Amino acid sequence: MYDIRFWLRDSIYIEQPKIRFLKQVYIELKGSHQTIYAWSTYTDLNSQLSSNLIIPHMSIQQLDDDYDGIYDKLKMKFQIPIEDKISNLYLLLLFSYQLKDRVNLIMQTPLIIQFDTPNVLGFCKYSMYGQLSLYQREPLLEGYMNTVYNNSIINNEQHKLKDIQLETVQKFLNKRHITLKIDPKYETWTPGSANLLNPLVLNLTLFYKPNKVWYPFL
């Protein structure tokens, strides 16, 4: 008689995370002739942009749909008065993220949103709808508070433009085993050029749904 046993080494559970948008933003647009336009919520970074600085009108809503004290979604809208054909968008948003059921995790993390169109078309409106999901390259351990990623990509004392540019942020995220990603994601866009009377419009909706959490089953 054979005694065959299957040992479950890892497991997954579902938790509604506590997600909070930290209201820190960096926007970078690429126009015709490779012209770069940018803006940040950090005023000292804006001073480093000189003639490339744009001033958007921004509205932000973090909504608690079921009144349980935890945000369920983030809605953002940008209207950017700019006269150019925009072909590339790079948007950086900063979030705090917390788990507390089976595992305890507190982290701050940047989130990258990118969009490209052929230069000949450009876009005058972009809309994105997606869900913020936990991405793990390793399981989270039970029994202690995990704060190893509770640090910001932005230095609180010295803000440098190079720290929030795309290549730097990608390297920062690649070093982390736990981050956030947008999955699934749906995008729509309207081709054309923006101008001062018809500004570039960006509409973003991010849903904070329950996440799958990977942890070792000991």
**What is the structure's pLDDT at 157?**
67
For the stretch 120-179, pLDDT in tens is: 789 999 999 999 999 999 999 988 899 999 998 887 667 788 899 999 999 999 999 999
Residue 65 lies inside a defined structural domain of this protein: yes
How far is residue 89's CA from residue 139's CA, in Å, rounded to a whole number? 33
Residue 122 lies inside a defined structural domain of this protein: yes
**What is the structure's pLDDT at 194?**
93
Residue 105 lies inside a defined structural domain of this protein: yes
Residue 3 lies inside a defined structural domain of this protein: no
Task: Please state the length of the chain.
Answer: 218
Average pLDDT over the chain, rounded to whole?
A: 92
Residue type for 50, please?
Answer: S
How far is residue 131's CA from residue 19's CA, in Å, rounded to a whole number? 12
pTM for the whole thing? 0.92
Q: Containing domain of residue 22, as a range? A: 10-216
**What is the structure's pLDDT at 61?**
98
Residue 1 lies inside a defined structural domain of this protein: no
**What is the structure's pLDDT at 7?**
52
CA–CA distances in Å: residue 171 to residues 16, 147, 164, 205, 208: 28, 20, 11, 26, 25
- What mean pLDDT is predicted for residues 176-194? 96
What's the gap between Cα 63 and its chain centre? 17
Residue 4 lies inside a defined structural domain of this protein: no
Residue 201 lies inside a defined structural domain of this protein: yes
**What is the structure's pLDDT at 4?**
46
How far is residue 92's CA from residue 24's CA, in Å, rounded to a whole number? 8
Residue 173 corresponds to which tokens in the numbers above?
A: 């995220």
How far is residue 93's CA from residue 25's CA, in Å, rounded to a whole number? 5
Higher-confidence residue: 160 or 77?
77
Per the structure, the count of domains in the chain is: 1
- What mean pLDDT is predicted for residues 4-25? 84
Using DSSP, state whether 141 is helix, strand or coil: coil
What is the pLDDT confidence band of residue 34, given thresholds at 50, 70 and 90?
confident
Higher-confidence residue: 189 or 118?
189
Helix residue ranges, H only, the chain: 43-46, 166-174
Question: Where do we find the tokens 């950086």?
Answer: 92
The torsion of the CA quartet 61, 71, 103, 93, rounded to 10 degrees, works out to -10
